[in-house]
Structure formats: C-alpha cells, structure tokens
Amino acid sequence: MAHIISDIKKAFSKGNIFIQLIYINSAVFLIVTLLSVFLKLFNRSADGFWEFLALPASIARLAGQPWSIITYMFMHAGFLHILFNMLWLYWFGSLFLYFFSAKHLRGLYVLGGICGGVFYILSYNVFPYFAPSVGISTMVGASASVLAIVVATAYREPNYRIQLLLFGAIRLKYIALIVVLSDLLFITSENAGGHIAHLGGALAGLCFAAGLKRGIDATSWINKLLDLILSLFSKKTWQRKPKMKVHYNHDPRDYDYNAKKKAQSDEVDRILDKLKKSGYESLSTEEKKSLFDASKR
C-alpha cells in the first residue's frame, strides 16, 4: 500500500497541471463515494456532507458556506459525470499548454469555475422561471472550468484542427461554437444549472484569451493567491532558520605566543614589585637576568 501511495505522489508531482487537476478531482470523487458507501452500510446518508461542498443556488445558503464556490468544481455526481469532464480536461488541457502556460491553466480552471458558479446563482435568483427551485438547488462539476479552457484555446487558435471519431477533422472554433449553442438551447432543461454554468465558464475563457492578447492576465490574482496558500503548506516556510554562528579561524601558534608574552609580562611586574620593596640586591641571578632581558625589548 505504501508503494502505491508513493507511486501516486510521484506521478502527481511529475505530471502536468491538467494531470494534477485530474488527480485532485478523482481523489475527491473517490473519497466522497467511499464515504457515501460507508455511511449507507449504517443506514446513514452522506447528503449533509454533499451539500456542505456543493454550490447552492440560494444566496442565503451561500453566505453560510462561501467555500462552496471553489469546492463544487471538484465534485461530481457520478462516474460518467467525472469521466467525461476529465476526458475533456485531458484533451483540451494538453492542447491549451501548447499556447499558454501551466499557471494560466491552473488559474483559468478556478476562474472558469467561479464565473460559472456566479452565472448559476445570478440566473436562479433573477429569472422567475427558476424561483420555485432556488431554495433546494445545488450544483457540482468541473464543466464550467473545463469549458473555460476549451473556449480560451479555441479563441487563441480558432482554425486549429483536431480529429474527432466519426466526424473527422474539425476546427476548434466550431467545437466551441457547438458546445456554447447547445448550452443556450438547454438552459431550461432538467440540468439548467449546469448549462448556465457552462456559459459562465465559456465567458471566462473568452475574456481571459482576449485580455491576454492585450497584455491583461485575468488569472494573475488567482495564481498569486494560490501561490500564497501553497506556500503555507510548504516545509520551507515553517522550517526554523538556523542561527548564524561566527567562527574565527585562529592559528594555534597565536595562542601560544600570546600566553608566553603574558607570562613574561607578569614575571617582570613581580620582579619590579620586589625591587621596589627590597632593593636590587634582594633579586636572584635569574630575576636579574629576566629584568635585563626585558629592558632590551
């Protein structure tokens, strides 16, 4: 088990940003699904946990769980839901990195999700058609984030052709156009919230790519915030810096020389004191010699 976790960590750290996002989405889906299964064995429901992370249409409910504007874009309602979203993220994420940077993709994923969430909440609270379901509606999924990446790539390289099964080579601009038009046509369907969020994500992708052409990076503030948050979890941030120690390199001979000089000085002082008290004749032959040598220095 330890080897498997180690391999996953290694693959995550070495993977491109879209691979890392796929890992995160898959991990969240797996944890939530396992929790649901576990609670069901005890005749319990995971609905409370689900609603805790899903994005509510009600502004009042959103005020009580503001984090859901971020967490919802990593949640999925079922296997097919996450499968198709991650396939789109894989295909267009790799294509996106031909024209933009990894940080742009990371920032746009979050920006697209936020714009999709805002569109969803505004629509449900503005249009009377959605009024009966505002209080009970919630939304999950990475679709808005993924569509932001799709539209940004299509805006940057509209005539780039990709090969689709059964349809052949199609230009990116037509793929993006078909997806956006289908969302417009189905905004009153059962999955109205999802289609509305797609439009918000598409608008985010369009604004990002158009702004970047003029030198404006709409994802810069998100990336700065993410870098700050990630730095809080970095070991380097919390490691105590070692205190500076000053080392002096002395030649051992310097200590011997200084010690000898001090001993000689002390001996001369002692002899001079004796000379004052008892006179010259009281000095021994060695003391007289020491005094004579000191007078020469």
Confidence class for position 212, pLDDT limits 50, 70, 90:
very high
* Residues facing 110 on adjacent strands: none
> Given a cut of 60, is residue 211 above it in pLDDT?
yes
| Tens digit of each residue's pLDDT (9 = 90 or more) over 81-112 | 999 999 999 999 999 999 999 999 999 999 99
pLDDT at 245: 61
Q: In degrees to the nearest 10, what's the CA dihedral of 54, 59, 61, 65?
A: 60
Q: What tokens does 48 get?
A: 């409370």
* Cβ(97)–Cβ(105) below 8 Å: yes
Q: How many CB atoms lie within 10 A of CB 197?
A: 32
pLDDT at 1: 62
Answer with the residue of higher pLDDT: 70 or 277: 70
Q: How many CB atoms lie within 10 A of CB 155?
A: 20
Phi, psi (rounded to 5 degrees) for 159: -95, 5
Write out the E strands in the chain.
Answer: 55-56, 138-139, 161-164, 168-171
Give Cα separations from 197 to 26, 145, 153, 262, 285 (angstroms). Answer: 21, 9, 18, 87, 108
Answer with the residue of higher pLDDT: 65 or 259: 65
Least confident of 53-67, 147-161, 201-215, 245-259: 245-259
Q: Which one, of 98, 79, 81, lies nearest residue 149 by Cα? A: 98
Report the C-alpha gap between 151 and 155 in whole angstroms: 6
The residue type found at 239 is Q
62: Cβ contacts below 8 Å, ≥ 6 apart = 55, 56, 68, 69, 121
pLDDT at 66: 96
Characterize the bridge pairing of strands 138-139 and 55-56. Answer: antiparallel
Report the C-alpha gap between 197 and 123 in whole angstroms: 9
Q: What tokens does 111 get?
A: 């920006």
| Tens digit of each residue's pLDDT (9 = 90 or more) over 30-80 | 999 999 999 999 999 888 888 999 999 999 999 999 999 999 999 999 999
Report the C-alpha gap between 287 and 185 in whole angstroms: 116
Report the SS3 class of residue 171: strand
Confidence class for position 15, pLDDT limits 50, 70, 90:
confident
Class of residue 118 by CB neighbours under 10 A (exposed 0-12, middle 13-18, buried 19+)? middle
> Given a cut of 80, is residue 277 above it in pLDDT?
no
Report the C-alpha gap between 112 and 73 in whole angstroms: 9
* Cβ(148)–Cβ(111) below 8 Å: yes
Report the C-alpha gap between 131 and 229 in whole angstroms: 37
- The single-letter DSSP state of residue 114 is H
